[in-house]
Amino acid sequence: MHLPIQDKVVRMVTAALVLLLLSAEASTQTATPTGQIRIPNRATAPLFTGKPGKQKTEITFDSATGIVTLKLLVQDPNGYFIPNIRRDNFVIYENGVRQENVTCDIEHAPVSLLILLEFGGRAPGFNRLASEKLIGAAEQFLDELGKDKADKIALWKYGDKPDKLADFSESIEKLPSILMGLGAPELSETNLYDAVIFADEHLRPVAGRKAIVLISSGVDTFSKTHYEDVIQTVKEAGTPIYAIALTRVLRDLADTEYRASPATKMNWTRAEKELQGIATASGGRAYLPENTVNLSPMYDDLMENLKVRYVLTYRSSNNLGPNSPRSVRVALVDPKTGGPLRIVDENGNAVPAVLTVTEATSQTTSER
């Protein structure tokens, strides 16, 4: 499939990136020990719930040099990044022609994150305890973010409407004290849909790798926006939303501590499904912890999925004009045999690999 060229100033080069799935059967084909890749053991189940969203592959073409750059994910079936893949394990075909001199690096990109925190509700006593859980989850996330000083964070809360607590210019070190100073929320609606639409629009002008981290119960009480509109908006925007869904935590809190509260009548099942739907449609992931004792593994998984990419570059051997369509296919191979690359864990068990590349259009080029 070729996509149309749309812009003459920033020349958009299309690439129909074929999704390559190395099945378990293909991954266990015979290969010499020197040709296989060994990776650390990982958990046998994903940390997120439901289906992961598909993020757009980043593609750029430099019209002056003919250099094509692809940034893509390589994961196991549980969504964990697969390390240790070398340059000679990647084979790239452009319009059916194998490309030579492919370079390979691993990128840990700085990111701009908008943290969107639920802070409100209709049940006073329940609100206070619920906000403590939600704020605690946000504080744990900020602890994880402190490891990379290049990341930029904006912090917003929402009840009736979104309210800014800190913009991207604020240092990460100051954000925990801002959270500590919030106190107990006032009675309000929890207009989740409106807040997600706002956050998505707020992030659109932000350049570079970016995402929304939504820390929420998933309950929407009085938004003007409909759920279906949210799904369509986040699909088109392509900014991943990582939902930290405290639905089960807050449902259990309502059932044990506030049985007479309106919180017990909330449709928690619907809230959980809708948070999953929003995350998947946007290209993100939904995490549904049973408690908030230690969310670090989930946050590590989130940041790995967002920040880490294999970066492949090559100089196109096809004599095509800057507006010509390019069909690119990426494969993982054993350079010794030419067959599928065998990936194994520390115990020697085969690990199927998934190259998550999607049809996409290049967004940045240089003109000289």
Q: Whole-angstrom Cα distance, residue 248 to residue 289? A: 7
CATH number, domain containing residue 159: 3.40.50.410
| 274 lies in some domain | yes
| 33 lies in some domain | yes
Q: What does the pLDDT read at residue 9?
A: 26
Does one domain contain both 57 and 138? no
| 106 lies in some domain | no
Q: What does the pLDDT read at residue 357?
A: 54
DSSP 161: S
Question: What would the pLDDT profile of 241-267 be if each residue is shown by its tens digit?
Answer: 999 999 999 999 988 877 777 778 889
CA 38 to chain centre: 25
Does one domain contain both 244 and 208? yes
Does one domain contain both 146 and 247? yes
Q: Which domain holds residue 157?
A: 112-304
| 107 lies in some domain | no
Q: Whole-angstrom Cα distance, residue 229 to residue 354? A: 31
Does one domain contain both 191 and 282? yes
What is the number of structural domains in the chain?
Answer: 2
Query: Which spans in 258-321 are helix H?
Result: 268-282, 296-307
Does one domain contain both 130 and 271? yes
| 309 lies in some domain | no
| 104 lies in some domain | no
What pTM does this model have?
A: 0.88
Token output for 78: 């549980």
Does one domain contain both 203 and 282? yes
Residue that is last in its domain, among 259, 284, 304? 304
Q: What does the pLDDT read at residue 356?
A: 64
Does one domain contain both 117 and 86? no
First to last CA, the chain: 29
CA 311 to chain centre: 17
Does one domain contain both 141 and 33? no
Which residue stretches of the chain have pLDDT < 50? Answer: 1-33, 358-368
In one-letter notation, the amino acid at residue 327 is: S
Does one domain contain both 328 and 300? no
Residue that is last in its domain, among 278, 304, 330? 304
Q: What does the pLDDT read at residue 147?
A: 66
Does one domain contain both 188 and 45? no
Closest alpha carbon to 74 in 267, 269, 310, 300:
310
Does one domain contain both 176 and 31? no
Does one domain contain both 77 and 122? no
Phi/psi of residue 171, each to 5°? Answer: -75, 145
| 117 lies in some domain | yes
| 105 lies in some domain | no
